[in-house]
Amino acid sequence: MKFFVDTADVAAIKELTELGMVDGVTTNPSLILKSGRDIQEVTKEICDLVDGPVSAEVVALEADRMIEEGRKLARIADNIAIKVPLTWDGLKACKTLAGEGRMVNVTLCFSANQALLAAKAGATFISPFIGRLDDINLDGMQLIADIRQVYDNYGFETQILAASIRTVNHALQSAQIGADVMTAPPDVIKKMAAHPLTDKGLEAFLKDWEKTGQKIV
C-alpha cells in the first residue's frame, strides 16, 4: 500500500519522507489555509520534497474553469495530480485533463456509483472519504470494499485512494480490503507505530538493563 500524507505542513512531510513513509501528498484548500502560505509557493516546495504525486485542488465549480485552474496547477511541477470534485462538471474536467496525459485525483467520493463514473472518466485516483461517512453513521470501509469489487470486476486502473482517514484502524482496514493508497494526517501515520505492549516491554527491558550496571557505549 502506498502512503500519502494529508497535509501542507512542509516540516511534517520532510520528516516522514526521510523515513521512507511518503509516496505522495494530498492537499486541499483547508490544508492550504492552515499552512498560512501561498498555494503555488507551498505546493512547489512540497513537489520538490516528494517524488510521488502531489494532489493540488481546483476551486472552480464549472468544468471550463476547473480545466483552466488544473492546467495552471499542473505547471507547478511534473508530479502534480490535479484534484477535482466528484460532480458532473468535475467528471468533465477529469476527462479532459486525463486526456491530456495529466494525473487526476477525483475527490469527495461517497458512493461506488460515483467511483465507477470517475474510472470511466479516466481518473488516476478516486478518493472515497471514510471518516465523513462514519460521521453520519454509514460504513466508510464498506465503500472501499464496494469500489474494490467494482474495479476488480472490470479491470479499471484507477487507484483507490482511501481518504478522510482519522484512526489507525481506518488505515489497517483499508490495507486489508485492498485500497491502493491511503492518505492520512502525519499524526495518524505516526500512531501506527504505537502499541501499549511495545511500551510495556521496552520499560521492562530497560529496568533489567539498568540492574546489570553495564553500558553499550
Provide the annotated active-site residues.
83
Query: How many Cβ atoms from other residues are within 10 Å of residue 7's Cβ?
Result: 23
Which three-class secondary structure state does DSSP give residue 56? Answer: strand
What is the distance between the alpha carbons of residues 156 and 30, in angstroms, rounded to a whole number?
30
Cα 44 from chain centroid (whole Å): 18
Q: How many Cα atoms are found within 13 Å in the side-chain-facing hemisphere of 121?
A: 27
Which three-class secondary structure state does DSSP give residue 47? Answer: helix
Residue showing cell 509516496: 23
| Helices and strands (H, E) in the chain, number of each type | 11, 8
Grid coordinates of 107: 475527490
Backbone angle region of 73, left / alpha / beta, with phi > 0 → left and psi within -120 to 50 → alpha: alpha
Cα 114 from chain centroid (whole Å): 18
Strand segments (E) across 62-175:
80-85, 103-109, 125-128, 159-162
